[in-house]
Amino acid sequence: MWLRRKFGHMIINKNQKNRVYFFKPSSLYDIVTAKPLSRLENSRALKYREGIFLLYEMSKQTKVSNFFGKPKLNDSIPQEKKDKKSGGKVKKRIIESSDEESNSEVDTKKIKFERENERENKTESSSEMDEDNVKEEQDDNLESELVSTKKLVDQKDMKDVGADWKKGEPVPYAGLCKTFEAIESTTKRLEIQEYLTSFFKHTIELSPGNLLETLYLCLNRVCPEYENVELGIGESLLIKAIAEVTGRTTQKVKNELAKVGDLGKVARDSKNSQKSISSMFGNRDKLLTVPKVFNSMKKIASLTGHSSQDLKIKEIQNLLISCRDEEPKFLTRSLEGKLRIGLAEQTVLICLAQAFVMTDKEYEKLAKAKKTEELNNAIKTIKSVYSELPSYDKIVPALLKGGIKNLREHCKLTPGIPLKPMLAHPTKSITDVLDSVEGHKFTCEFKYDGERGQIHRLEDGTTKIFSRNLEDNTVKYPDIIERISKAAKTNTKSYVLDCEVVAWDLEKHILLPFQVLSTRKRKDVKEAEIKVSVCLFAFDLLYLNGESLLKKSLEERRKLMNDSFQEIEDEFSFVQNINATNIEEIQSYLDESIKANCEGLMVKILDGLESTYEPSKRSRNWLKLKKDYLSGVGDSLDLVVVGAFYGRGKRTNVYGAFLLACYDPEHEEYQTICKIGTGFSDSDLETHFNYLKEKETSEPKSYFNYDKGTKPDVWFEPCQVWEVKAADLSISPIYKAAIGQISEASKGVSLRFPRFIRIREDKKPEDATTSEQVAELFQNQYNNKE
């Protein structure tokens, strides 16, 4: 229905999502004079792909007023995204159009980005998945864009990859590295998909037993994400291993690293120029295989304790010795913890689905349209299954056994395996909230300030509690485990309950702030010794007695929750809520929540398709309204510490200020956002110094985007996330956050008056606030001021 010619064209700027620009066909070439029409909320058209702009043609039958509200005067023209890597020179995009193009051909072919470096084309659908609240069920048209229309790389093109790969033999690591190399060398998402799908196809056909290991190496993991096993081997350990294997001094390797910036490349170059030395070890000709590399990595990740460093080095050396060509590069990067080839998990999922469809014997016999349909359905299935059951350990064997068609049957939300929680969208005012939920039945709940807890009760009676980041917190909360069986009614056998765990004053019967909760011990907690009591506030039920409730409306889920559990004073309660409808009611409920020591409100859509539980998505169907941030930014930011400045005066023995960065998943880089020196107590500064001095690196990481003018005295490995509050966001010539995503293409965004709030123990550096979120916070602030 969308993609028709004649009427006009819409262009959606991905980085200022919801911003739609409308063009008549005649003005297609003239992007600069395009007039923006309006914001477009909650519509199917919000899918974007292939970089920043998406070109759609609208049908004649579609009434413009259905999609556009009143024009906003302050909307600005879409800006080119600055290419940081090519020195910031912005080149003009040319949009070609032909009235004869059909739907499926509305493709990258039509959007030529005249740039030296097209990295931005690597937009991953992960952000689409995470950020869009568009219902997948309605997305048939758009999903088809995910499928490559080009012919897949066939067997002969893969001869490099598979020269030594015979049916039944282990997958050669060289083949996987060739595929990584190909993926790294292109910026086009469809091409990336072709390479990986093809490799998976080969694996399924030749060595199905290695598919799981292959997949894990693509994702740089050794087990399901929720098991939280970190691979990240420290730089100094790797340098040592590389030096020893290649017969160089560590200093020489360090010098190279300073020059090249990528330890992977240093390893490759050192290795390839040191053949004679590595041959002394004798087993140079032995080919590395995917299972060998995977198992070694798993072993390295599991080594702990006293002599683990030496054992790790030995294991790494063994791998490095057998490496050749590009292998040392990818191996080293994997060991460092990140491949940095522009391959996101959502792409891996798409490729896995495509590979399974294509290896089905019946597939080749299908007509073209039917093939596309099959691929689309498979992608939809796998994504939805993975969001319920994020474990390839379960999914891959099920796929190998019953194919994609039977996947849903074998893999369902399972108590014991945490799912990524649904997240909320920040808002800055009650009117913002009302704009968003207009036309829907909605509810306002207190927003408690504690820690998220996903409580799982298994069929066998075991109870577990997982954090926002899927960490197993069961040992931290023996008191919760104890009480939850009292709160569950007799007929409530198995369940997954979404709660907030909040510190609680048992004498006064009031909520205590988050700071109190954070003093609670994490490990070896014995119930009798607990100093900080907690009360549990349940807000959602995702699974009950063998059945997943994710697709039910919030209203239904809430009813089931109320029917299946009972409140226990001081221990277990349902979140307070009202079904308010107007500004006054919401305002007074917000005030009430603050009086009760809450942070503000959560506003959620209650019924209809928009009220299902959307695992891992930052949904617009859940809005957070935080009192503290209403006059400022809307929310706090979670930023990564990338550098520090030596202190003066009272702060001489510690770092006095720090350089912070947000994360840009699209470019896989950290972008500086501010210098911060406020909000720290003396003991905070000491704690930071003691922790961070171990993380200093000789050079900034190649994936830090910063300006010389903001260079700190020392750089760090990205290792810790801090929650930071700011007065507002402003455009900056020297900070790089969200560069290219705001109206002044060559400038970034920085925080004004940043203030340290706390360490986010529950977020990893890559879970930090993204540059896209920064751009959005900036944009919202701008919109509200106008």
Ligand X SMILES: Nc1ncnc2c1ncn2[C@@H]1O[C@H](COP(=O)(O)OP(=O)(O)OP(=O)(O)O)[C@@H](O)[C@H]1O
Q: How far apart are CA 599 and CA 594, in angstroms?
A: 6
Residues with Cβ within 8 Å of 449's Cβ and at least 6 positions away in sequence, in order, are 502, 511, 513, 514, 597, 598, 599
DSSP 670: E
Q: How far apart are CA 304 and CA 692, in angstroms?
A: 21
- Tell me the window of 304-312, 375-383, 447-455, 673-681 that interacts with ligand X (CB under 6 A): 447-455
Minimal CA–CA distance to 52: which of 749, 745, 778, 784? 745
- Tell me the window of 146-154, 169-177, 416-424, 459-467 that interacts with ligand X (CB under 6 A): 416-424
Q: How far apart are CA 83 and CA 93, in angstroms?
A: 12
Q: How far apart are CA 586 and CA 424, in angstroms?
A: 18
Of residues 556-585, those binding ligand X (CB under 6 A)? 575
Per rule CB under 6 A, is residue 539 in the interface with ligand X? yes
- Tell me the window of 385-393, 440-448, 521-529, 747-755 that interacts with ligand X (CB under 6 A): 440-448
- Tell me the window of 319-327, 445-453, 487-495, 586-594 that interacts with ligand X (CB under 6 A): 445-453
Whose Cβ is closer to ligand X: residue 31's or residue 484's? 484
- Tell me the window of 1-9, 418-426, 430-438, 743-751 that interacts with ligand X (CB under 6 A): 418-426
Q: How many residues bind ligand X (CB under 6 A)?
A: 13
**Nearest 5°: CA angle at 54, between 49 and 59?**
125
Residue type for 329, please?
A: K
Q: How far apart are CA 514 and CA 330, in angstroms?
A: 42
Smallest separation, CB 460 to ligand X (Å): 28
Q: How far apart are CA 202 and CA 615, in angstroms?
A: 32
Whose Cβ is closer to ligand X: residue 378's or residue 662's? 662
- Region at 413 (left for phi over 0; alpha for psi -120 to 50; beta for the rest): beta
Residues 469 and 764: beta-carbon distance below 8 Å:
yes
| Binding characters for ligand X, 373-412, by CB under 6 A (x = yes) | ----------------------------------------
Smallest separation, CB 684 to ligand X (Å): 19
Residues 323 and 245: beta-carbon distance below 8 Å:
no
> Using CB atoms, what's the residue nearest to ligand X?
452
Question: Is 401 a residue of the active site?
Answer: no
Smallest separation, CB 710 to ligand X (Å): 25
Residues 695 and 234: beta-carbon distance below 8 Å:
no
Whose Cβ is closer to ligand X: residue 333's or residue 624's? 624
Q: How far apart are CA 109 and CA 188, in angstroms?
A: 11
Of residues 601-640, those binding ligand X (CB under 6 A)? 602, 624
Tallying the residues shown for the chain, one arrives at 786
For residue 454 the two structure tokens come to 């996903």
Exactly one of 39, 82, 452, 695 binds ligand X (CB under 6 A); that residue is 452
Exactly one of 58, 158, 233, 424 binds ligand X (CB under 6 A); that residue is 424
Whose Cβ is closer to ligand X: residue 291's or residue 450's? 450
Whose Cβ is closer to ligand X: residue 466's or residue 706's? 466
From 447, 552, 604, 695, active-site residue: 447
Whose Cβ is closer to ligand X: residue 425's or residue 736's? 425
Of residues 484-523, those binding ligand X (CB under 6 A)? 500
Tally Cβ neighbours within 10 Å of residue 509: 10
| Binding characters for ligand X, 462-481, by CB under 6 A (x = yes) | ------x-------------
Whose Cβ is closer to ligand X: residue 21's or residue 448's? 448
The distance of Cα 702 from the centroid of its chain, to the nearest Å, equals 21
Smallest separation, CB 346 to ligand X (Å): 19
Exactly one of 423, 475, 594, 757 binds ligand X (CB under 6 A); that residue is 423
Residues with Cβ within 8 Å of 517's Cβ and at least 6 positions away in sequence, in order, are 450, 451, 501, 502, 503, 532, 534
Of residues 58-87, those binding ligand X (CB under 6 A)? none
Give the three-state DSSP class for 424: strand
Whose Cβ is closer to ligand X: residue 121's or residue 577's? 577
Residues within the interface to ligand X (CB under 6 A): 421, 423-424, 445, 447-448, 452, 468, 500, 539, 575, 602, 624
**Residues marked as catalytic:** 447
